[in-house]
Structure 1
Amino acid sequence: MLRALIFASALAVPLSAAAFTGGDLNKLCTKTDVASRSACAAYIEGAADGIFNTIDAIGGTTGPRVGQYFCLPQDARSAQLTDAVRKYIAENPNVAGYNASTAISLGLGKAFPCKSGS
């Protein structure tokens, strides 16, 4: 009986969830209130960290390899990451419909490309 109840509850949950897009991220990042700006920076830093760790798990982040999207300098600051992503989205409007983490990868890759032998 409990399984049936759990199954019925699962069916009641909407089957589609809206993804957070590059456009959504850009809207968040253009707001001027402290909470929105902090959320923007935290989202970008978190996604960059997640992408970096995923790449590390599948083969390393010590240089340009298949799947290596960006190479952040040791002294990169949050504002630099945010500016790079916002600039990329502004210059590439089609990215607004992409998943936000994809837009972040592309923006950071443009601003902080890996150099050979990095």
Structure 2
Amino acid sequence: MLRALICVAALTIPFAATAAVAPGGGKFTAGDLHKLCTQTDAISRAACKAYVKGAADGVFNTIDAIGGTTGPRVGQYFCLPDRIDPQRLVDAVRRYVAENPDSADYNASTAVSLGLEKSFPCKGE
């Protein structure tokens, strides 16, 4: 039963995220992500957390592939503490978009990078 519930959630979350995109397609913007993350239903909240965590992992892995992220390095956008609560990541991104209204048209993953950089900057070695 639990396995079935996990499978349903895994299939539903991507649809919730794409439902936040404006009709007619286009890119998933920071404004779309902010709208998704302000929803109160469980599926939207899970989709928001999954997107933010996935985008953060993607940025981290991309930077690792082009030069490493084992400490503050040129091009590294953010340094997350170990075992951080995903809601703290979401809060950082939401705060960034709210404080920077011009960012609403940015690609959502760009807003994730910038928001996490502002809240979790790398400290010099």
When normalised by structure 1's length, the TM-score is 0.83
2:40 aligned residue: 32
Q: Partner of 2:81 in structure 1?
A: 73
Correspondences of 1:9-88 after superposition (within 5 Å): 18-88=26-96
Residue-by-residue CA offset, 1:69-112 (whole Å, 9 max, x unaligned): 00000021100000000001000001110000000000000000
Considering only CA atoms, is the larger Rg found in Structure 1 or Structure 2? 1
* Structure 1: 5+ residue stretches without partners: 1-15
Kindly report the root-mean-square deviation, in angstroms, between the aligned alpha carbons of the 2 structures. Answer: 1.2
CA distance in 2 between partners of 1:59 and 1:80 (Å):
27
Q: Which amino acid in 1 is paired with 2:83? A: D
How far residue 17 of structure 1 moved from its aligned partner, in angstroms, is: 5.3
SS at match of 1:69: coil
CA distance in 1, matches of 2:30, 2:84: 21
Question: How many residue pairs were aligned?
Answer: 102
Q: Which runs of 4+ in 1 moved over 2 A?
A: none
Q: Which amino acid aligns with 1:71?
A: C
The higher-RCO structure (CA 8 Å, 6+ apart) is 1
Matched AA of 1:58: I
Any unmatched runs of 5+ in structure 2? 1-23
Deviations 1:29-50 (A, max 9, x none): 0010000000000000000001
